[in-house]
Amino acid sequence: MKFNTKTIHGGQKHDPAYGAVMPPIYQTSTYAQSTPGGHKGFEYSRTHNPTRQALENAFASIENGEYGLAFGSGLAAIDAVMKLLKPGDEVISTNDLYGGTYRLFTSIFKNFGIKFNFIGMQNASNIEDYITENTKIIWVETPTNPMMNIIDIKATAEIAKKHNVLLAVDNTFATPYLQQPLDLGADLVMHSATKYIGGHSDLVMGALIVKDKELADKLYFIQNASGAVCGPQDSFLALRGIKTLHVRMQRHCENGRAVAEYLQSHPKIEKVYWPGFESHPNHEIAKAQMKDFGGMISFVTKGNDYNEAIKIVENLKVFTLAESLGGVESLCGHPASMTHASIPKEEREKTGVVDSLIRLSVGIEDEEDLINDLKQAIG
């Protein structure tokens, strides 16, 4: 099955009870047993739920994995991965990453004796300098949030394999429409399904996808033991979202290109961060590992002026000023005070998250309306 077909049919079968084409929302916490242990594969909805299972099968299918797991949020999914570790273990992570992931690593798991190295991975060979015998996970975001850096997944996977380290890729920004990390050698893919997977800004959810049975079993154990699962209603919504992922992503990419090119040509804009530009330092890697360049764009205005950036985000009308990304509607954000406020100023400025940086999640509206909105807001 090819990707577009998979988004609609991958891992799905018609409901065995009445043939419903969409999996019903099994709004139940528990399941009748004829005798202790005599059930139909479902005992308790923290462990398994038929609607969630249909979604987990869809996750596995669209990422070319074998096993999918759904969680109550993207951070709950990352939390489950970190619970594979024990005190003394080390993680090497991209230094430019979602602020909430940074907060989870440094304010929670660090207290349990896990060591994190945040490094620039744009040159994959850097990673080897940080690998020790205690390194267990390499954590990669690509494109990174919000600086749109690109990490070479294949080259990183080769290093991870050589040192027997697990490579986990947060594929939230790219989605499996644009890149499939498991095919490039990663061991685990993570999503904030809140974003493009759900696609309509109406749910909060996380996903993990792996190929290896032993790793999947460990993660299923953590999912059930820690219990950060999503409910059947949200599972249904995410399944519905996945069915249009490919058509939405096509339009996100088209509009993303138009907006990036418009901003690039604007005399008041200093720099636009978007991997589709030939001038992007890792454009060639992006071209090789991604099908297109997506709808996430960051930019700074000339003079690096905080007040000017705030004025722009307040003036935008079609773009809504809000946290999050990946929905059909265009959003804008000010990372330094919103999504990345949990990263200390000096740390975030090292990676380019300055006070004048604006991040756009370009939606699927008419291109002309988006450009006109930016025109009136920037002036």
Compare residues 49 and 192 and give the one whose CB is closer to ligand PLP. 192
Would you count residue 100 as binding ligand PLP (CB under 6 A)? yes
Q: Which position among 46, 218, 287, 291 bears the catalytic label? A: 46
In the list 121, 165, 204, 219, the residue contacting ligand PLP (rule: CB under 6 A) is 204
Q: Which of 54, 58, 62, 75 binds ligand PLP (CB under 6 A)?
A: 75
Does residue 145 interact with ligand PLP by CB under 6 A? Answer: yes
Q: Is 251 a catalytic site residue?
A: no
- In the sheet where 67-71 sits, what is the strand order? 67-71, 206-210, 188-192, 166-170, 135-141, 90-94, 115-119
Q: Is-catalytic flag, 18?
A: no
Indicate the residue among 50 and 181 with the shorter CB distance to ligand PLP. Answer: 181
Cα–Cα distance between 149 and 219 in angstroms, integer? Answer: 29
CA-CA distance, 76 to 108, in Å (whole number)? Answer: 13
| Residue 37 in tokens | 């242990």
Cα 43 from Cα 39, distance rounded (Å) = 7
3-state secondary structure of 19: coil
Determine contact, residues 39/33, Cβ cutoff 8 Å: yes
Given a contact cutoff of 8 angstroms between Cβ atoms, the answer to whether 56 and 193 are in contact is: no
Cis peptide before 275 (omega within 30 of 0): no
At 303 the three-state DSSP class reads: coil
Paired strand residues for 332: 321, 360
Q: Which of 79, 96, 152, 170 is catalytic?
A: 170
* Residue closest to ligand PLP (Cβ): 74
Nearer to ligand PLP, 51 or 194 (CB): 194
26, 67, 98, 105: which one binds ligand PLP (CB under 6 A): 98
Residue 306 is a catalytic residue: no
Site for ligand PLP in 174-203 (CB under 6 A): 192, 194
Which of residues 11 and 100 has its CB atom nearest to ligand PLP in the complex? 100
Is the Cβ of residue 192 or residue 289 nearer to ligand PLP in the bound state? Answer: 192
Distance between CA atoms of 143 and 172, rounded to whole angstroms? Answer: 9
Catalytic residue among 26, 67, 98, 196: 98
Cβ pair 61, 104 in contact under 8 A: no
With binding defined as CB under 6 A, does residue 101 bind ligand PLP?
yes
Rule CB under 6 A: say whether 74 interacts with ligand PLP: yes
> Which residues from 104-133 bind ligand PLP, rule CB under 6 A?
none
Segment near ligand PLP (CB under 6 A); pick from 53-61, 97-105, 178-186, 359-367: 97-105
| Secondary structure letter of residue 211 according to DSSP | S
- The verdict on whether 52 is a catalytic residue reads no
Cross-strand bridge partners of residue 192: 206
What are the residues binding ligand PLP (CB under 6 A)? 73-75, 98, 100-101, 141, 145, 170, 172-173, 192, 194, 204, 206
Which residues are identified as catalytic? 46, 98, 170, 195
